[in-house]
Structure 1
Amino acid sequence: MFRRNREYIHPELDAILTASKKRREEWFNKLTISHRNLGVALQDILECVQRNKNTRFIFFIGMTGAGKTNLAENALADALADLWGDGAGAKKPFMYIPVETNNEHTFAWKNLFSDIMEQGSAVPAEFIREPSDSHGVIRYASNSRLTLGALRKAIKRMADQRALKVIIFDEAYYFLRLRFDNLDVMDTAKSFAEQIDVKLLFIGSYELLELSTLYATQIRRTEVVPFFRYDTKNKAEMKEFTIVVEKFASNWPCKSIPNFPAAVEELADASMGGVGQLSVILSNFLGYQLRSKAEVWTPIMFGRALKATALDEEMRDQIITGEAELRRKYSVKNYYCTNKGISAIGKKLAC
């Protein structure tokens, strides 16, 4: 039986343990666990958003279920608020926009711009009117004739008012076009970022690699922050992953706690080293335990918390292929980030 590590216990846990089953399950599903890879990614993103205007695009790429959305909604949001002051409501210098799919053959920018405008100013898109001057008479177009230009101008005014600096687009693979190529998508994004004077942070899985390197002008304005899963064959990384498992177990919202750290190898394999995927597995397990008589866990709950073998193998193949490409392009830093390069340039810079 596992005993909680006091160092990792969340301040809310005592109150949660006496809450309803539904409340406990919801709390655990939203539990944010800090860990090394998350901290590294967070610092890399913060460095990118503080760069000058030559950097317009930031791609945050990693396996599905790695914890990217959790980082964006929690740690990154807090860090950006600390970085640029405690702006609240309409004064926040950043926005988080979950990108939605559409049934069109090209990306629906009008829908996205409407979402940005509504979240940024609480003004529904249907209330926006595009003015035109006809011989000194100002006329306003009806909503049915609302153009992308009018929405951009409205967003520009909103962005200026709240000193907007970053727009975070989650599930950004929906930017990928269904036909032809993606040049038009990034051209529009580039124009939008420059007109509004913001940085665009795209969050998604390996599909985004296609958008990050389309042409030289875009690459010059792009930074990629890779978010790698923990390597289950690396002892040092498995040690970090074990700490993550212990943090989850220490905050298990039941009196009876399975000894998950003792099964860390099995959990690492099942989650493929992804903390987000680990959270899903443990949340599934918790659901079974809370619905059991007297909240008693059984070993069969572990297997039920995992995906079927065929689905697991398919997802595993996609992740291995995608991460290999991500590592090939972005895990190797330039020469001057190596110890030898730093030493060589340091001597010259200090002359």
Structure 2
Amino acid sequence: MTKPQCSNHVRRLSIEERLYYGRLSRDQAVTLSPEEKRRYFYSLQVKHKKLLRLEKEITRYISGNTDTTILTLIGPPGAGKSSFIENVLANRLKGTEIGQIPFITVPTPAHGSNKIPWSEMYRKILLAGGEPLVNNKRVTEVTTDKVRVRSNSMGSLSALRDAVTSMLIHRKTMILALDEVLHMLRFGNHPALMDTFKSLADETSCQILLIGSYDLFDLATTYGQVARREEIFYLGRYGSNFDEKGKPDKEANEMDVGEYRTIIGKLQDKWPLEDVPQFSALASDLMDMTLGIVGLLKEFMTQCLVLQIENGGKWNNDFVRRAMKKPYVLKKIRKEVENGEKNMRDEGFFDDTAPSFAGAIHSIRRAA
């Protein structure tokens, strides 16, 4: 295995680094330098029930045999949405031909202006697709007898849009994932956003995957023009189950504690130090302390690792308190998550059945 070069920031992990660290056993990880141990643990990806369920559900809609053009992935901050698209969808959708790029992911730009930054968005898409001379794109007009290029259109919004459409077609792109769509929602022009996404999908036969937090639910559900060809997916948290009466489902939440303990155990088994703290014994408390969000759990354990490394590899129980996010931060995240889940629950998103169809289903069964 070729050892990758470490950069200055733990969060900047290349694909090569993730692959390298992913192949290491715990015994090998113990021999790494302190900086590499941090990067190794940060790179770990844990498959769990909610993630596997999401993978199964979303796979049905990216097979190519569907009319669904807009996919929306919603989840609380730290749930692992970005990690899912980078490490699951990107690995599933790989090109088999030269020049083919089935999966392109782009972070949504934020510039602080009062207009939707379409030009910057199109440039990011073109760069992610490996397009050359992005700022030299021109508008072309095709008629029955000739092709005309507008001389004053170089780098214009129309030229960039045409270039994106052409690239997605020729690259045979199946999924264009736009991460952190919240940056575009703040402008409030939701119909314009959805019109553009729908048009781009229709022109290219490419599915648009929108990724973000709970604000994205309103965008996805209030625009009727694309409702028929849209599907919403939710990567949720553990310990937030409710029964039919809207009260916490004690049995389901206790089962979630068991799954959380399994997740903790998988991370604990990869601990790159000789002295391994027994986090799994605190599964119930940790699920509450991290709001049942796997990403927050991973961040907490990473901070514990950093503190233990700085302490010469020796564990101290005080690290738990020091690694936890401040109460005001957790309070803010909890409020956002609970309000978002309530909104989705009130809109019937979590309902397993459609009560209005119960009579029809009963009649079908009786007729059969």
- The two structures share one fold, judged by TM-score above 0.5: yes
- Contact residue 256 and residue 296 of structure 1 kept, 8 A: yes
Query: 1:120 Cα shift?
Result: 0.7
The question of whether the paired residues in 2 share the 8 Å contact of 1:242 and 1:264 is answered with: yes
Kindly provide the CA deviation profile for residues 201-222 of structure 1, in whole angstroms up to 9, marking residues without a partner as x. Answer: 1111101012101232221121
3-state secondary structure, aligned to 2:112:
coil
CA separation of 1:332 and 1:11: change in aligned 2, threshold 3 A: same
Q: Secondary structure at the match of 2:110?
A: coil
Q: How far does residue 22 in structure 1 lie from its aligned partner after superposition?
A: 0.8
**Where does structure 2 lack aligned partners over 5 or more consecutive residues?**
1-21, 241-249
C-alpha distance in structure 2 between counterparts of 1:194 and 1:72, whole Å:
22
Asked whether the 8 Å contact 2:93–2:103 carries over to 1, the reply is: yes
The residue number in structure 2 matching 1:141 is 151
CA RMSD, Structure 1 to Structure 2 (Å) = 2.8
Counterparts of residues 1-351 of structure 1 (less than 5 Å): 11-13=23-25, 14-50=27-63, 52=65, 54-81=67-94, 86-87=95-96, 90-131=99-140, 138-139=148-149, 141=151, 145-178=154-187, 180-231=188-239, 233=250, 234-292=253-311, 294-329=312-347, 330-335=349-354, 345=364
- 3-state DSSP class of the match of 1:272? coil
**What 5-or-longer segments of structure 1 have no aligned partner?**
1-9
1:48 partner SS: coil
> TM-score, length-normalised on structure 2?
0.82
Residues 298 and 334 (structure 1), Cα distance of their counterparts in 2 relative to 1, 3 Å cut: same
The CA deviation at 1:347 is 6.8
Q: Tell me the residue number matched to 2:7.
A: none
Q: Which moved more, 1:149-158 or 1:267-276?
A: 149-158
Q: 2: CA distance between counterparts of 1:346 and 1:119?
A: 51
Q: Secondary structure at the match of 2:182?
A: helix
**Whose relative contact order is higher, 1 or 2, with alpha carbons under 8 Å and at least 6 apart?**
1
- Tell me the percent identity: 26
Counterparts in 2 of 1:235 and 1:16: CA distance versus 1, 3 Å: same
Q: Summarize the Cα distance change of 1:112–1:303 in structure 2 as closer, same or farther, 3 Å threshold.
A: same
Greater helix proportion:
1
The SS at the match of 1:167 is: strand
Q: Distance in 1 between matches of 2:37 and 2:360?
A: 51
1:126 to partner: Cα distance: 1.4
**How much does 1:182 deviate?**
1.5
User: Under a length normalisation based on structure 1, what TM-score does the superposition of the two structures give?
Assistant: 0.86
Q: Which whole-Å CA distance do the structure 2 matches of 1:341 and 1:34 have between them?
A: 39
Answer whether contact 2:125 2:164 (CA < 8 A) is retained. Answer: yes
Deviation at 1:48, TM superposition (A): 2.1
Aligned residues between the structures: 333
Partner SS, residue 121 of structure 1: coil
